[in-house]
């Protein structure tokens, strides 16, 4: 996407997965001791039946993509919403998908609809983002 202008309808997709070790490290780093994320016995008895990946770990793929690939370095992150619709599990494949839905060229801003879907096509997280990019939105 280097030196390319963002347009309405532009899309991007990235495959991601999260290991149990990623979740453990994330929980330590964020001091999130919620047993749903770190205690297999507790998680087994929960409505999810197994360890679930924290929403801020799985959702961080949105930030990663905006800041590094689509539209890339120089992106200023203004807004993100996340509807947590289905749990995200360890060691499964997910797809982060992005579509530019609005441009406010005079403010160099774009609205991007973001989803994280399972391989079976279920939407686990969805929500709008607003980003600004001085060189790629005009």
Contact call for residue 50 and its own copies (CB under 8 A): no
Contact call for residue 15 and its own copies (CB under 8 A): no
Task: Give the total residue count for the chain.
Answer: 138
Q: Compute the distance between CA of residue 59 and CA of residue 122 in angstroms, rounded to an integer.
A: 15
The residue assigned the tokens 């030196």 is 3
Contact call for residue 12 and its own copies (CB under 8 A): no
Instruction: Report the DSSP beta bridge partners of residue 103.
Output: 110
Contact call for residue 25 and its own copies (CB under 8 A): yes
CB 14 within 8 A of CB 96: yes
Closer to its own copies by Cβ: residue 9 or 111? 111
Q: Compute the distance between CA of residue 22 and CA of residue 89 in angstroms, rounded to an integer.
A: 12
Binding residue for its own copies (CB under 8 A) from 31, 41, 120, 121?
31
Note the residues at the interface with its own copies (CB under 8 A).
22, 25-26, 29-37, 47, 54-57, 59-61, 63-64, 67-68, 73, 75-84, 127
């Amino acid at each position: 996407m280097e030196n390319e202008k963002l347009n309405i309808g532009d899309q991007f997709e990235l495959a991601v997965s999260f290991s149990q070790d990623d979740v453990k490290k994330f929980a330590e780093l964020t001091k999130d001791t919620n047993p749903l994320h770190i205690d297999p016995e507790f998680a087994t008895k929960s409505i999810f039946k197994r360890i679930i990946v924290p929403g801020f770990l799985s959702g961080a793929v949105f930030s990663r993509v905006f800041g590094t690939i689509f539209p890339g370095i120089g992106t200023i992150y203004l807004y993100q919403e996340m509807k947590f619709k289905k749990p995200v599990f360890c060691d499964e494949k997910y797809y982060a998908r992005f579509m530019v839905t609005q441009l406010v060229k005079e403010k160099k801003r774009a609205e991007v609809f973001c989803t994280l879907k399972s391989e079976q096509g279920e939407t686990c997280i969805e929500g709008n983002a607003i980003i600004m990019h001085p060189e790629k939105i005009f």
